[in-house]
Amino acid sequence: MKYLGLVFANLRRSKLRSAMTGAAIMLAVLLVCLLLTMPAGLDALLDNLASNTRISVHNKAGIVYSMPQSFVRKVRQVDGVAAAAAITWFGGAYEEAGRVTFPNFAVEVEHVGAVYPDYPISAEHLADFKRYRDGALVGRQIMRKYRWKIGDRVTLRSTVWPVNLDVRIVGEIADDHSPYLWMSTEYVDQALKAQGREGLGIANVVWARASDPSRVNAIMRAVDELSRNSEAETACETEKSFFSNMFGSLQSFVTIILIVTALVSLCIVFIAANTASMAVRERAGEIAVLKAIGFGRRVIFATLLAETLLLSALAGGAGVLLAVALTRALRMFSGWSEALGPLAVFIITGPVIVQGIVLSLCVGMLAGVVPAYGAARKSVAETLHEIF
């Protein structure tokens, strides 16, 4: 601790160099944090929004292969099912976006609350959702992306059904990562019938909640049994498995992101190591004098390493803070135009912050250890010889 003054003084030695190295580390850590939001976001979705009691019931052939809406009644009667709600892909494009930019579904309003009791939806919002046929519940990620407020009216042009629907936002799914919009099945059904068509008779997924995790397997078997040999044979899976599979196709992308993150991290290590080795080389004489006076190898090693570590920790910490601030700002700007839309997906969560800090410390260690060790190891006489 008493050496801290010396370490700080050494960092102040070449202010320009310390500043530039610090800035480089800060910017790179910022970038890494932004990059990591994607895998972290997927993990968060898996952790926050997937429960161990929910089961997805869908056509074995694929989600696009639907099931009759009426099937949900059979599911409700299965032993152990506490609640079940049929969900149909609406595929609505928000006018301003021009194409489908978030998942939106028609859901059974009377039952969906019971299937998702863990979702942060206030009782009041849920009640309004049931009360107003044209109501919609929207996940916070989308609310922020388009800067919608409760009470706003939003037009969605379905890309799969021949209807355009005007919905009123009556409530929010208060999770930062929730990207959903739910509207009422009745409302869609009505709109279709008004055109002289058959109503919304199909569901893409029936979500069921088991009364207890231990009943999940039995329920899945029972439901699949119910649908066997029918025209829509089902394959049940847990919600976690469902999300995993869905994210599976994003895996390539995540891998590339992680590779790029690794490259950038390595880059920071090199930048910091470059600075550290230059500093050590330039100060060889001074270090020799310190050793001569009686500072042992361990102290020399520690103070040199501390220098790199301190710079790295401070700069990296600043980078993480900047990432948090920047993503907040980006969320504001992303609402301005479609092209900037993607900017809203950067949400810095706890794990990302921790990863950023750990990265900064590791960078400091890796970058500083070799120059510090090399300088400490050299014998005094050897160094003095080279200098004098």
Partner 1 sequence: MPLPLSYSLRNLQARPGRSVMTACIIALVVVACALLLGLISSLKQTFVRSGNPMNLVVMRKGSDNDGASQLAVQAFQAIRFFDGIARDAADQPLVSPELVVQPFFRTRGGGRENVLVRGVEPVALAVHEQVRITQGRMFTPSAHEAVVGRAVLGRYAGAELGNELEFGRGRWKVVGILEAGGASFESEVWVDVRELANDAKRPYPYSGIRLRVATPADFEPLQRRIGDDPRYALEALRETDYYAKQAKSANALYVLVVGIAVLAGIGAGFGASNTMYAAVQARTAEIGTLRALGFSRGAILSAFEIEAVALSLVGFLLGAVAALALSRLLEWWLGSLAFGASTFTTNVITLHLSSADLAGACGLALTIGIGGGLGPAWRAARLRPIEALRKA
Partner 2 sequence: MQMRVAEPIIAIHHVSRRYVRGVDEVHALEDVSLSIPQGHFAGFMGPSGSGKSTLLNLVSGIDRPTSGEVIVAGQRLNDLSEDELAHWRARHVGLIFQFFNLIPVLSSRDNVALPLLLTHLSKAERLRRAEVALGIVDLGHRLHHLPRTLSGGEQQRVAIARAIVTDPDLIVADEPTGDLDARNAEAILSLLRQLKQDFGKTVVMVTHDPRALRYVDDAYHLDKGLLLEGEDAERARAALLVAAGHGAAPTGAAAGVRAQP
Angle 83-84-86 from CA coordinates, rounded to 5°: 160
Q: Which is nearer to partner 2, 150 or 381 (CB)?
A: 381
**Surface-to-core class of residue 189, CB atoms within 10 Å of its CB (0-12 exposed, 13-18 middle, 19+ buried):** middle
The one-letter code for the residue type at 229 is N
Q: Which of 74, 297, 321, 324 binds partner 2 (CB under 8 A)?
A: 297
The binder of 343, among partner 1, partner 2, none, by C-beta within 5 to 8 A per type, is partner 1
The binder of 131, among partner 2, partner 1, none, by C-beta within 5 to 8 A per type, is none
Q: What SS3 state is found at 258? A: helix
Going by C-beta distance under 8 Å and a sequence separation of 6 or more, which residues neighbour residue 331?
A: 144, 145, 343, 344, 346
- The structure tokens listed for 71 are 């099937």
Smallest distance, partner 2 to C-beta of residue 285, A: 4
Please name the residue that has the structure tokens 């706003």: 152
Q: Which is nearer to partner 2, 11 or 219 (CB)?
A: 11
Q: Which of 16, 79, 195, 298 binds partner 2 (CB under 8 A)?
A: 298
Q: How far is CA 81 from CA 66, 74, 88, 207, 329, in A?
A: 21, 10, 20, 10, 44
Going by C-beta distance under 8 Å and a sequence separation of 6 or more, which residues neighbour residue 145?
A: 102, 331, 334, 335, 341, 344
Q: Which is nearer to partner 1, 90 or 207 (CB)?
A: 90
In this structure, the number of other CB atoms found within 10 A of the CB of residue 332 comes to 12
Q: Does 248 bind partner 1 (CB under 8 A)?
A: yes
Strands 135-139 and 164-173, bridge-based pairing? parallel
Q: From its phi and psi, is residue 220 left (phi > 0), alpha (psi between -120 and 50) or beta?
A: alpha
Smallest distance, partner 1 to C-beta of residue 248, A: 4
Smallest distance, partner 1 to C-beta of residue 16, A: 7
- Say how far apart CA 94 and CA 149 lie, in whole Å: 15
Q: Which is nearer to partner 2, 243 or 295 (CB)?
A: 295
Going by C-beta distance under 8 Å and a sequence separation of 6 or more, which residues neighbour residue 324?
A: 348, 353
Of the listed pieces 7-15, 38-46, 186-194, 207-215, which binds partner 2 according to CB under 8 A?
7-15
Q: Does 260 bind partner 1 (CB under 8 A)?
A: yes
Q: Which of 91, 295, 335, 369 binds partner 2 (CB under 8 A)?
A: 295
Q: Does 302 bind partner 2 (CB under 8 A)?
A: no
Q: Which of 13, 99, 228, 385 binds partner 1 (CB under 8 A)?
A: 99
- What interhelical angle do 15-49 and 297-334 show, nearest 10? 60
Q: Which of 114, 290, 321, 362 binds partner 2 (CB under 8 A)?
A: 290
Q: How many chain residues touch partner 2 (CB under 8 A)?
A: 28
Binding site for partner 1 (CB under 8 A): 16-17, 20-21, 23-25, 27-28, 30-31, 34-35, 60-65, 91, 93, 98-100, 103, 157-160, 162, 164, 231-233, 245, 248-253, 255-257, 259-260, 263-264, 266-268, 270-271, 273-275, 277-278, 282, 339, 341-343
Binding site for partner 2 (CB under 8 A): 2-3, 5-6, 9-10, 12-13, 285-286, 288-299, 379-381, 384, 387-388
